[in-house]
């Protein structure tokens, strides 16, 4: 008898919670159309950016890709033409040069979806890392992204149609959790989260929607390069989240952008990380908000266990 009453009560409380969350979550849910829109992808000549460029081109978007190396850009353009029959616009620019970024953005025409995906990463203990490498990661990943936002925002705010548009940042699961060997890289990726949270508040009135993508290790030319000198502990920790192909990550990213999700996770570990690091992030899905509220404590126990094994590995390898 008491059992039945208890389950009614639990059901009632959970239903009330769902309805409550549906009423209060902000920003409101949205949908970002892709077809016939201008998608501007930095770092679009390689890896995740190239895979995303191919997918949005196949969905009928007008695509611009930006990177430094003109040869790689030409190759990317040819490979996208071969697989989709569509021509993308290429721009050879260094994101660290604000003036050049501004001119490139103006030459490309009004942007509907800006994907700041360019990034460099070197896995190495900070004590061994030289200042050039450190400064390079901060300049490309963080300052470069600020440059892009600063250059593109005026045009996006003053667009002629008021349809929803997106600014998307390529973070990393290493933008949600500390990983040995990635101290400076993490500083840039955690930095993007702060940028994204404040920016979303500043641009919501313009119907601009911010997304943050959190990929696990992804098979790309960039990762192949980083693996050459990766510390053992970096590999051990990164292997706790299952690796993915660039196409799969691009697909998750595209679905996340279309649904205007603020946090976009890519695999099961990513879902758990997004629950446990939800913090003060905006949430458009009442269902995800519900999942966060109910499960964050439990997942916290899980990640504390993961930290326990990680610190065990650190002790062992440093003994």
Ligand X SMILES: NC(=O)C1=CN([C@@H]2O[C@H](COP(=O)(O)OP(=O)(O)OC[C@H]3O[C@@H](n4cnc5c(N)ncnc54)[C@H](OP(=O)(O)O)[C@@H]3O)[C@@H](O)[C@H]2O)C=CC1
Q: Write out the binding residues for ligand VSD, residues 222-251 only, by CB under 6 A.
A: 223, 226, 237-238, 240-241
**Position with the least CB separation from ligand VSD:** 302
Q: Write out the binding residues for ligand X, residues 150-209 only, by CB under 6 A.
A: 170, 172
* Nearer residue to ligand VSD within complex by CB, 7 or 128: 128
**Options 80-88, 102-110, 138-146, 215-223: segment touching ligand VSD (CB under 6 A):** 215-223
**Options 93-101, 142-150, 156-164, 296-304: segment touching ligand VSD (CB under 6 A):** 296-304
Q: From the candidates 46, 171, 172, 261, which is the catalytic residue?
A: 171
**Options 35-43, 75-83, 216-224, 308-316: segment touching ligand VSD (CB under 6 A):** 216-224
Residue 260 in the binding site for ligand X (CB under 6 A): no
Residue 220 in the binding site for ligand X (CB under 6 A): yes
Q: How many CA atoms lie within 13 A of 70 on its CB side?
A: 1
Instruction: Provide the minimum distance between the beta carbon of 5 and ligand VSD in the complex, in angstroms, as a whole number.
Output: 34
* Residue closest to 62 by CA, chosen among 91, 36, 33: 36
Q: Please say if 171 is a catalytic residue.
A: yes
* Nearer residue to ligand X within complex by CB, 136 or 155: 136
Residue 270 in the binding site for ligand X (CB under 6 A): no
* Residue closest to 77 by CA, chosen among 88, 69, 85: 88
Residue 269 in the binding site for ligand X (CB under 6 A): no
Q: Write out the binding residues for ligand X, residues 67-106 only, by CB under 6 A.
A: 67-69, 72, 94-96
* Nearer residue to ligand VSD within complex by CB, 59 or 269: 269
Burial of residue 46 (CB within 10 Å: 0-12, 13-18, 19+) is buried
Q: Write out the binding residues for ligand VSD, residues 82-141 only, by CB under 6 A.
A: 121
Residue 263 in the binding site for ligand VSD (CB under 6 A): no
Instruction: Yes or no: say if 300 and 276 are a contact pair by the CB < 8 Å rule.
Output: yes
CA distance 22 to 14: 12
Instruction: Yes or no: say if 215 and 244 are a contact pair by the CB < 8 Å rule.
Output: yes
Q: Please say if 107 is a catalytic residue.
A: no
Residue 173 in the binding site for ligand VSD (CB under 6 A): yes
CA distance 238 to 289: 27
Question: Pattern 27-56, binding to ligand X, x per CB under 6 A?
Answer: ---------------xx-xxxxx-------
Instruction: Provide the minimum distance between the beta carbon of 269 and ligand VSD in the complex, in angstroms, as a whole number.
Output: 4
Q: From the candidates 72, 77, 189, 252, which is the catalytic residue?
A: 189
Which residues are tagged catalytic? 171, 185, 189
Which residues contribute to the site for ligand X (CB under 6 A)? 42-43, 45-49, 67-69, 72, 94-96, 117-121, 140, 144, 170, 172, 215, 217-218, 220-223
């Amino acid at each position: 008898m008491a059992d039945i009453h208890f389950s009614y009560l639990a059901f009632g409380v959970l239903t009330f919670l769902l309805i409550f969350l549906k009423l209060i979550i902000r920003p409101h849910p949205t949908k970002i159309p892709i077809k016939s829109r201008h998608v501007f992808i930095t770092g679009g000549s390689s890896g995740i950016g190239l895979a995303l460029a191919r997918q949005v081109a196949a969905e009928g978007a007008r695509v611009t890709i930006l990177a430094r190396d003109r040869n790689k850009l030409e190759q990317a353009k040819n490979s996208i033409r071969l697989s989709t029959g569509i021509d993308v616009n290429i721009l050879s620019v260094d994101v660290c040069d604000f003036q050049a970024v501004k001119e490139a953005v103006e030459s490309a025409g009004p942007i509907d979806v800006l994907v700041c995906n360019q990034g460099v990463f070197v896995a190495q203990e900070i004590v061994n890392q030289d200042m050039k490498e450190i400064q390079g990661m901060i300049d490309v990943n963080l300052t470069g992204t600020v440059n892009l936002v600063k250059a593109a925002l005026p045009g996006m705010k003053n667009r002629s149609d008021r349809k929803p548009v997106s600014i998307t940042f390529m973070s990393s699961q290493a933008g949600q959790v500390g990983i040995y060997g990635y101290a400076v890289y993490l500083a840039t990726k955690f930095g993007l989260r702060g940028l994204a949270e404040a920016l979303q508040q500043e641009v919501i009135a313009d119907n601009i929607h911010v997304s943050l993508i959190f990929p696990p290790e992804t098979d790309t030319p960039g990762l192949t390069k980083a693996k050459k000198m990766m510390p053992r502990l970096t590999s051990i920790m990164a292997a706790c989240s299952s690796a993915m192909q660039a196409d799969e990550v691009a697909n998750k990213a595209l679905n996340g952008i279309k649904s205007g999700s603020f946090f976009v996770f890519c695999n099961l570990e990513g879902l758990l990380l997004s629950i446990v690091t939800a913090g003060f992030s905006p949430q458009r899905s009442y269902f995800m908000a519900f999942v966060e509220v109910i499960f964050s404590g439990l997942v916290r126990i899980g990640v504390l266990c993961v930290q326990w094994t990680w610190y065990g590995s650190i002790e062992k390898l440093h003994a």
